[in-house]
């Protein structure tokens, strides 16, 4: 009788351990990595442990799964032995049915619901989770080697998987929009950010026919009048024709000069010349590094295709930026 009571106590303890493994698994896989990183920067030691564990998620999950299965198997064996002693041959059937419900309710559903997105619990068990990962590490390595060998026998390769993909983020954004926690324009902006690195300069530039050029010998007064009439503030400067671009001018540079009869070339700046296949994100970084807002698109033969402004590039993310001078979309750079 004493042996039966001891076995029941051990079974209850094993079920509690299984519940811990299940809740720990769900808490770990639902951790918000961004919040953990913020807590690490604040010096939270438990968050530092979690951050290290997040660098090897496969090992952590494998250790938890191994521990959970061993505990459940041992509990089932003990339950079978106890019920056989009490009920005889039908004891195994009784143990199977009872343990099935006990494991599902108390070792799976309830603890996993508790652990889901439970950051406080994840922090509290960080050290214990690190110990479990260390303790089962040899078994994890052994099982992983066997698993990899079986996969190779099928002729397939084990593929690495990113923890977060663009598709998953967009799926979360759509879910957030449906639940009302994210606005539609916020979702669209995130979508544009993902598509931004695929956008090429030739997709967003202003064609040559709609660009206002100014000759290098034009006067500053002429530049000012052109700026007033067009609403543009920056202009490409040409010498012989529109394919012979030698620089650019900004109308604000005329403000510090009294003699408005000086020629435009006296205040001319260098102009950035790019290939039309350049990616938008690379162009934005280049413009920032060169501290320029205007770039000239050229063909492989040096012919002018058109202009692209920093505003054109930024609009790919934020959408159309309309100001009081935006009568038409081709306004490549406004005052």
Domain residue extents for the chain:
2-153, 166-196, 201-318
State mean pLDDT over 180-191. Answer: 84
In tens, the pLDDT along 32-65 reads: 888 898 999 999 999 999 999 998 888 999 999 9
Confidence at residue 157, expressed as pLDDT on a 0 to 100 scale: 62
CB-based contacts of 103, cutoff 8 Å, min separation 6: 15, 18, 72, 75
Per-residue exposure over 97-110, b if at least 16 CB sit within 10 Å of its own CB, e if not: eebeebbeebbbee
Closest CA to 17 of 59, 72, 54, 60: 72
- What separation in angstroms does the CA of 294 have from each of 158, 256, 283, 334? 47, 22, 10, 11
Question: What's 201-318's CATH class?
Answer: alpha beta
Question: pLDDT-derived band of residue 156, with 50, 70 and 90 as boundaries?
Answer: low
In this prediction, what percent of the chain has a pLDDT beyond 70?
A: 92
Q: Higher pLDDT residue, 189 or 264?
A: 264
The answer to whether 218 touches 265, Cβ cutoff 8 Å, is no
Which element (helix H / strand E) includes 298?
A: strand 294-298
Three-state secondary structure call for residue 223? helix
State mean pLDDT over 116-124. Answer: 91
Confidence at residue 331, expressed as pLDDT on a 0 to 100 scale: 46
Question: pLDDT-derived band of residue 160, with 50, 70 and 90 as boundaries?
Answer: low
Average pLDDT of the residues of the chain: 86
Question: pLDDT-derived band of residue 249, with 50, 70 and 90 as boundaries?
Answer: very high
Judge whether residue 330 has pLDDT over 70.
no
DSSP 151-209: HHHTT--PPP--SS-HHHHHHHHHHHHHHTSS-HHHHHHHHHHHHHTT-BGGGTPEEGG
The answer to whether 227 touches 215, Cβ cutoff 8 Å, is no
State mean pLDDT over 100-127. Answer: 91
State mean pLDDT over 133-138. Answer: 93
Judge whether residue 130 has pLDDT over 50.
yes
Judge whether residue 270 has pLDDT over 70.
yes
């Amino acid at each position: 009788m004493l042996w039966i009571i001891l076995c029941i106590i051990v079974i209850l303890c094993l079920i509690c351990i299984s519940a811990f493994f299940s809740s720990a698994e769900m808490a770990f896989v639902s951790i918000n990595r961004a919040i953990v990183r913020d807590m690490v920067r604040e010096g939270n030691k438990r968050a530092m442990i979690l951050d290290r564990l997040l660098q090897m998620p496969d090992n952590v999950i494998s250790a938890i799964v191994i521990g959970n299965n061993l505990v459940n198997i041992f509990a089932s064996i003990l339950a079978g032995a106890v019920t056989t002693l009490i009920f005889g041959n039908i004891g195994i059937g009784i143990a199977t049915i009872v343990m099935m419900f006990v494991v599902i309710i108390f070792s799976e559903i309830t603890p996993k619901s508790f652990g889901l997105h439970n950051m406080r619990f994840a922090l509290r068990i960080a050290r214990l989770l690190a110990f479990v990962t260390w303790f089962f590490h040899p078994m994890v390595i052994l099982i992983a080697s066997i698993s990899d060998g079986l996969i190779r026998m099928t002729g397939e390769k084990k593929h690495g998987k990113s923890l977060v993909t663009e598709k998953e983020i967009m799926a979360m954004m759509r879910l957030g929009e449906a639940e009302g926690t994210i606005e539609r324009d916020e979702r669209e902006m995130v979508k544009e950010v993902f598509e931004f690195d695929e956008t090429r300069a030739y997709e967003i530039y202003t064609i040559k026919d709609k660009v206002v050029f100014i000759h290098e010998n034009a006067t500053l007064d002429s530049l000012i009048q052109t700026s007033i009439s067009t609403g543009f503030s920056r202009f490409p400067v040409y010498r012989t024709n529109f394919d012979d671009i030698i620089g650019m001018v900004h109308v604000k540079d005329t403000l510090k000069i009294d003699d408005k009869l000086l020629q435009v070339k006296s205040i001319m700046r260098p102009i950035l010349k790019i290939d039309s296949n350049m990616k938008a994100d690379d162009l934005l970084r280049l413009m920032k590094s060169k501290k320029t807002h205007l770039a000239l698109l050229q063909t492989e033969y040096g012919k002018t295709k058109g202009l692209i402004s920093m505003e054109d590039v930024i609009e790919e993310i934020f959408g159309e930026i309309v100001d009081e001078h935006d009568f038409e979309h081709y306004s490549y750079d406004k005052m």
